[in-house]
Amino acid sequence: MKGEQLYVSAQKHYVGGGGAGGRYHPLLRRPLYLARGKGSRFWDVDGKEYIDFFTGSGANFLGHDHPAVAAAIRKALEIGVICNGETEFHSQLADLIADAVPCAEKIRLANSGTEATLGAIRIARGFAKKPKVLKFEGHFHGMHELIWYNCATAPGAVRSDGTIAPLPDTDGMPAVFGDLVVVVPFNDPDAFTRAVAAHGQDLAAVIVEPISYNQGCIPADPEFLRLVRDTCTRLGIVLIFDEVLSGFRMGRGGAQEYFGITPDLCTLAKALGGGVPIAAVCGKDEVMSVLNPTGPTVMSGTYTGHLTAVMGAIACQTEIAKPGFYERLNGLADRLYRGIGEALKATGVPGRVQGIGARFGIYFGVTDPVTNYREAVQTDREMEVKFILGCVRRGLYLHDYAHRAPMHHGFSAQHTERDIDEAVNIVEDALREL
């Protein structure tokens, strides 16, 4: 098997046999080594074909080798692989984002979701002149010291001030960073109110995944999100929606349009570029005005807004703005989630699917809605492991992250009804095996 051989040779210089730790599939016990991707599918180096329900962790929102994205990248190459330079295309992209995303009065580009949340937190601190950030348990905002806490850790006890002790999600983080993070259970208005009463005077920002796909798919209770919005407005705390995954996922305006609640700042990545490495911090004029070069809060970078990424993102944003794009996408979503729900029923496997737009989570061992991390970690991980392996073996690629809580899966705009039906059949077979 070429995949097995590659795993051996790749480990010579790559720890874990891959350029990024997250590509290791803990259930396959190695990364999947890919040969090529086209549309809704990819092929591994051994020639096995998969329906792709990973889609680059949500980045390949337009599937693989989308003709518009590929042509845009080719055009960038013709222009001359401009790095660290502005062009007319950068303005075009900003206009497209501002047209789609409610809070996007001003935009600063970045290369990844991690870099975008790092920038957004710095902007919030530069604006509010306060040190701390409130985040919710189970929410993931990238792999940096400012915020990578209590995303996949064991649920902690809720203390009298409504908070949970901050626990880093990686080794190598000096404890001093945790002193600047206030962790609160999600969708818990009482805990949130108590935490703000205790720490509000020190809070620069509240950061939230308004739809937390990093625990499958757990949307905010709209009343809870409204409480968070109103509290931040009242106390002058910057509200950041981390829309790295939810942005453009069910509509052009992302979760802020879905809920009709506008944050002060948001972060975008993944579906922003349809597979190219690009991200953004967007926000209201007043907050974004602290940014350099006109303000004192600095965020920049050599590769930021690389022309190949900007051109790819313009192509992606142009595609999603076409009439009927989201009607079709959300129609496929309904078909898929209905199909998985029926397969669960038909096979008698206890579980539920929760999905919004093109991403979803499957929770085993429960039938009631999963509304926060505490509930998500109580689902049946053993069943989930068997299910994922059953799907992968049958040619439906689901990634696994070895998290306590189920993670997100999803499809792209190039998936067809046929792909969805084929996937549902595979799901039903894999469930039957359970």
In this complex, which beta carbon is closest to ligand PLP, that of residue 114 or of residue 256?
A: 114
Least distance to ligand PLP from the beta carbon of 324, Å? 27
CA angle 345, 348, 353 (to 5 degrees): 50
Residue 350 per-residue DSSP state: -
Question: From the list 40, 55, 60, 112, which residue makes contact with ligand PLP (rule: CB under 6 A)?
Answer: 112
Looking at the Cβ atoms of 137 and 209, the one nearer to ligand PLP is 209
Give the C-alpha separation, 389 to 360, whole Å. 18
Nearer to ligand PLP, 113 or 390 (CB): 113
140 binds ligand PLP (CB under 6 A): yes
Contacts of 382 (CB under 8 A, 6+ apart): none
Count of C-beta atoms within a 10 Å radius of residue 74: 12
> In this structure, what DSSP letter does residue 171 have?
S
Q: Stretches 46-54, 137-145, 297-305, 425-433: which one binds ligand PLP (CB under 6 A)?
A: 137-145
State which residue, 240 or 377, has the beta carbon closest to ligand PLP: 240
What is the nearest approach in angstroms of ligand PLP to the Cβ of residue 190?
A: 25
Which CB, 114 or 354, lies closer to ligand PLP? 114
CB of 421 to ligand PLP, least distance (A): 28
Q: Helix axis angle, 307-320 relative to 67-79, nearest 10°?
A: 150
Query: Which of 244, 388, 405, 430: binder of ligand PLP (CB under 6 A)?
Result: 244
Among 108, 125, 141, 415, binds ligand PLP (CB under 6 A): 141
The smaller minimum CB distance to ligand PLP, of residues 122 and 194, is found at 122
113 part of the interface to ligand PLP, by CB under 6 A = yes
| Residues 6 or more apart whose Cβ sits within 8 Å of residue 348 | none
CB distance 353 to 341 below 8 Å:
yes
- In this complex, which beta carbon is closest to ligand PLP, that of residue 214 or of residue 414? 214
Stretch that binds ligand PLP, among 136-144, 166-174, 192-200, 295-303 (CB under 6 A): 136-144
Output the smallest distance, CB 138 to ligand PLP, in A: 11
How far is residue 147 from each of residues 215, 327, 377, measured CA to CA in Å?
17, 35, 20
How far, rounded to the nearest angstrom, does the alpha carbon of residue 134 sit from its chain's CA centroid?
19
* CA trace torsion 394, 396, 397, 402 (10° rounding): -70
**Structure tokens that stand for 12 in this block:** 């010579």
Beta bridge partners of 363: 352
Please report whether residue 259 would count as binding ligand PLP according to CB under 6 A: no
Q: Report the interhelical angle of 307-320 vs 325-347 (nearest 10°).
A: 80
- Provide the 3-class DSSP secondary structure of residue 50: strand
> Binding string to ligand PLP for residues 390 to 409, with x set by CB under 6 A, is what?
--------------------
* Residue with Cβ nearer ligand PLP (151 or 424): 151
Candidate list 245, 290, 307, 332; residue touching ligand PLP; CB under 6 A:
245
Strands, E, within 30-131: which ranges?
30-31, 34-38, 41-44, 49-52, 106-110
- From the list 197-205, 241-249, 410-418, 425-433, the region that binds ligand PLP by CB under 6 A is 241-249
Which lies closer to ligand PLP via its Cβ, residue 138 or residue 155?
138
Residue nearer to ligand PLP on the CB measure, 237 or 245: 245
The interface with ligand PLP within residues 345-374 (CB under 6 A) comprises none
Site map (CB under 6 A) of ligand PLP, residues 192-221, x = contact: -----------------x----x-------
Of residues 212 and 231, the one with the C-beta less far from ligand PLP = 212
Q: How far is the CB of 22 from ligand PLP (least distance, A)?
A: 8
Which of 137, 242, 375, 400 is close enough to bind ligand PLP by CB under 6 A?
242
CA distances from 47 to 1, 41, 60, 68 (A): 10, 12, 21, 26
Q: Which of 133, 130, 134, 126 has its CA nearest to residue 286?
A: 126
Which residues, 269 to 328, sit near ligand PLP by CB under 6 A?
Answer: 269
Residue 263 near residue 251 (C-beta atoms within 8 A):
no
Distance separating alpha carbons of residues 45 and 155, to the nearest angstrom: 39
| Strands in 357-417 per DSSP E | 359-364, 396-397, 409-410
Q: Which of residues 24-83 bind ligand PLP (CB under 6 A)?
A: 57
In whole angstroms, the minimum distance from the beta carbon of 395 to ligand PLP comes to 25
Binding site for ligand PLP (CB under 6 A): 57, 112-114, 117, 140-142, 209, 214, 242, 244-245, 269
